[in-house]
């Protein structure tokens, strides 16, 4: 009505001024203030718009009566390509009320056609979208800032929950994609969780609580001046669940995974660049660390008087026991230009040095089948915060696998069968992967699966027994041979007096009058 009046009564050149005047008058008498949050801020996307949209969509879709926002009757639904989550949205020009700290506010989603295409480096959408927030003037000082912070935080949380996790890899080598990104990603859909992971329940609970403390520990890390990161070293025989544990960690915390292929990284600075391009709330994984890098080459670069390109790490004395890979690409004996290659020092800098703190809330996980091959520098305390041994399948782990694969709960299996399984499980030293295979093969017939499993465990236990007997025999034979050798090499007694070594031995021995077999032996 006002607009029609404006158009008919007021001449066009005065309309704008009169409109402004009306607005001022209205603002004076209105008890509300209004905030517009537009989708595009100049030419950039307004992050706050996205956050508000996400926040309101979650409130709008909520079916619980206690939801903060009053649901609207009309919602738009969207689902991204390859995404498993559906996003609800406010339909155009719809309203929604929300309550924050006891204060009511109203949101309105306003969509208007863009009138003229303004100059821009990139094409702008045809519609102008924005949210208008209406707050009572007297409430504004108390809630505005806190409310917007709350919305931003909530939106991040929703984004993490809804978004499929991503698995990144640097398998392209050092090349970058069209956006200058060194990582390639695929949706991460590994179903492993701590529930399905077969391991000692106490150890599992300890790891879960450690992860929880880490994720909730922002204030602690800030207070203590520590970088908000944590390192786990998972070690154990193949097939004991190290990779499954990483997937379970990612699913538990809702983090992305960066699977770092060290063999694809050529220099320390490349490694640093990769690190800089990882996001917070992520797990950076280096699998089979003992195979990925020749960890002795820092010693080479240090001892040659130079410093490796990432060499801000402390002295090199502890590097002497590294595994080395004779003849391998990083072998110091083999390769004279190691200054260009990735070094242990660079790797330690990556996890530990100043660069490791770009971004925050990051977990480093290294896995290995041979912990004894790792350099002490990697193992020393404080470097990897937690060392987790993934062992052969124990009885509690077996129960978890039986539940996963055959649906058996506590009490479902006869006590005698359980006792027989318990009797051989430790001796058999079968990995959860081996046991899973037996159970998968026979999963259609639970009885058969248990029989086959027991049989497999017994055969394996018997083999272990035979192998250990053979080892003992070989050890005994070796010991006897060693004793014999010692007896022959030791100084011989002449008339009850031991003589020195060297030539005298032979002389004295012969003089000592010992004859026969031993004489032959010495000759």
Ligand X SMILES: Nc1ncnc2c1ncn2[C@@H]1O[C@H](COP(=O)(O)OP(=O)(O)OP(=O)(O)O)[C@@H](O)[C@H]1O
Footprint on this chain of ligand X (rule: CB under 6 A): 196-199, 238-244, 369, 390, 432-433, 436
Q: Measured between alpha carbons, how far is 32 from 131 in angstroms, rounded to an integer? A: 16
Residue 322 interface partner, choices Mg ion, ligand X, none, CB cut-off 5-8 Å depending on type: none
**Nearer to ligand X among residue 355 and residue 389 (C-beta):** 389
CB-closest chain residue to Mg ion: 243
Residues 6+ apart with CB under 8 A from 449: 405, 406, 438, 439, 441, 442, 443
Q: How far is the CB of 391 from ligand X (least distance, A)?
A: 9
Residue 199 interface partner, choices ligand X, Mg ion, none, CB cut-off 5-8 Å depending on type: ligand X
**Nearer to ligand X among residue 77 and residue 422 (C-beta):** 422
Q: Measured between alpha carbons, how far is 209 from 203 in angstroms, rounded to an integer? A: 10
Q: How many residues bind Mg ion (CB under 5 A)?
A: 2
Residue 59 interface partner, choices ligand X, Mg ion, none, CB cut-off 5-8 Å depending on type: none
The answer to the question of residue 292 lying near Mg ion (CB under 5 A) is no
Residues 6+ apart with CB under 8 A from 506: 522
Residue 198 interface partner, choices Mg ion, ligand X, none, CB cut-off 5-8 Å depending on type: ligand X
Q: Is the Cβ–Cβ distance between 105 and 97 less than 8 Å?
A: yes
**Nearer to Mg ion among residue 243 and residue 343 (C-beta):** 243
Sign of CA dihedral 201, 206, 212, 215: negative
DSSP for residue 126: S
Q: How far is the CB of 388 from Mg ion (least distance, A)?
A: 13
**Nearer to ligand X among residue 108 and residue 426 (C-beta):** 426
**Nearer to Mg ion among residue 69 and residue 285 (C-beta):** 285
End-to-end CA distance of the chain: 125
Contact flags string 207-246 toward Mg ion, x per CB under 5 A: -----------------------------------xx---
Residue 167 interface partner, choices ligand X, Mg ion, none, CB cut-off 5-8 Å depending on type: none
Q: How far is the CB of 49 from ligand X (least distance, A)?
A: 42
Distance of CA 107 to the CA centre of its chain: 38
Q: Measured between alpha carbons, how far is 124 from 68 in angstroms, rounded to an integer? A: 34
Torsion of CA 422, 426, 432, 435, to 10 degrees: -60
Sign of CA dihedral 507, 513, 516, 521: negative
Q: How far is the CB of 367 from ligand X (least distance, A)?
A: 6
- Chain residues that interact with Mg ion, rule: CB under 5 A: 242-243
């Amino acid at each position: 009505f006002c607009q029609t009046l404006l158009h008919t009564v007021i001449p066009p050149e005065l309309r704008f001024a009169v409109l402004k005047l009306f607005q001022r008058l209205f603002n004076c008498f209105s008890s509300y203030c209004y905030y517009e949050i537009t989708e595009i801020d100049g030419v950039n996307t307004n992050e706050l718009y996205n956050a508000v949209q996400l926040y309101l969509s979650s409130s709008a879709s909520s079916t619980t009566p206690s939801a903060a926002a009053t649901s609207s009757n009309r919602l738009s639904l969207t689902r991204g390509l390859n995404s498993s989550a559906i996003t609800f949205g406010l339909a155009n020009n719809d309203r929604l009320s929300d309550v924050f700290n006891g204060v009511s506010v109203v949101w309105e989603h306003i969509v208007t056609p863009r009138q003229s295409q303004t100059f821009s480096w990139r094409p702008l959408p045809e519609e102008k979208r924005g949210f208008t927030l209406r707050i009572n003037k007297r409430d504004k000082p108390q809630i505005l800032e806190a409310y917007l912070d709350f919305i931003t935080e909530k939106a991040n949380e929703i984004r993490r929950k809804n978004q499929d996790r991503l698995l990144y890899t640097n398998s392209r080598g050092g090349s970058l994609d069209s956006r200058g990104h060194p990582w390639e990603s695929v949706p991460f859909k590994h179903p492993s969780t701590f529930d399905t992971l077969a391991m000692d329940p106490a150890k599992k609970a300890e790891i879960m609580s450690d992860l929880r403390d880490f994720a909730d520990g922002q204030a602690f890390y800030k207070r203590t001046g520590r970088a908000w990161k944590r390192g786990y070293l998972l070690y154990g025989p193949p097939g004991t669940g190290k990779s499954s544990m990483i997937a379970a960690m990612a699913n538990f915390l809702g983090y992305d995974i960066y699977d770092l292929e060290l063999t694809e990284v050529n220099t320390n600075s490349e490694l640093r660049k990769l690190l800089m391009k990882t996001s917070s709330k992520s797990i950076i994984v280096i699998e089979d660390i003992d195979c990925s890098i020749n960890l002795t080459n820092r010693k080479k670069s240090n001892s040659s008087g130079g410093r490796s390109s990432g060499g801000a790490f402390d002295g090199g004395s502890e590097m002497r026991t590294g595994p080395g890979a004779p003849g391998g690409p990083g072998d110091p004996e083999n390769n004279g230009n190691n200054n260009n290659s990735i070094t242990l020092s660079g790797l330690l800098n990556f996890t530990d040095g100043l660069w490791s703190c770009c971004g925050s809330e990051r977990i480093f996980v290294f896995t290995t089948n041979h912990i004894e091959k790792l350099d002490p520098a990697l193992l020393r305390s404080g470097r990897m915060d937690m060392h987790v041994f993934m062992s052969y399948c124990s009885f509690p782990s077996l129960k978890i696998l039986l539940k996963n694969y055959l649906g058996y709960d506590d009490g479902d299996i006869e006590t005698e069968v359980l006792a027989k399984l318990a009797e051989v499980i430790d001796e058999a030293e079968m990995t959860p992967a081996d046991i899973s295979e037996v159970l998968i093969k026979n999963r259609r017939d639970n009885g058969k699966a248990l029989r086959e499993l027991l049989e497999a465990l017994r055969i394996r236990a018997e083999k272990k027994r035979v192998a250990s007997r053979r080892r003992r025999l070989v050890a005994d034979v070796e010991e006897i041979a060693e004793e014999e050798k010692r007896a022959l090499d030791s100084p011989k007694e002449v008339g009850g007096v031991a003589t020195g070594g060297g030539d005298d031995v032979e002389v004295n021995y012969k003089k000592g009058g010992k004859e026969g077999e031993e004489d032959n032996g010495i000759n």
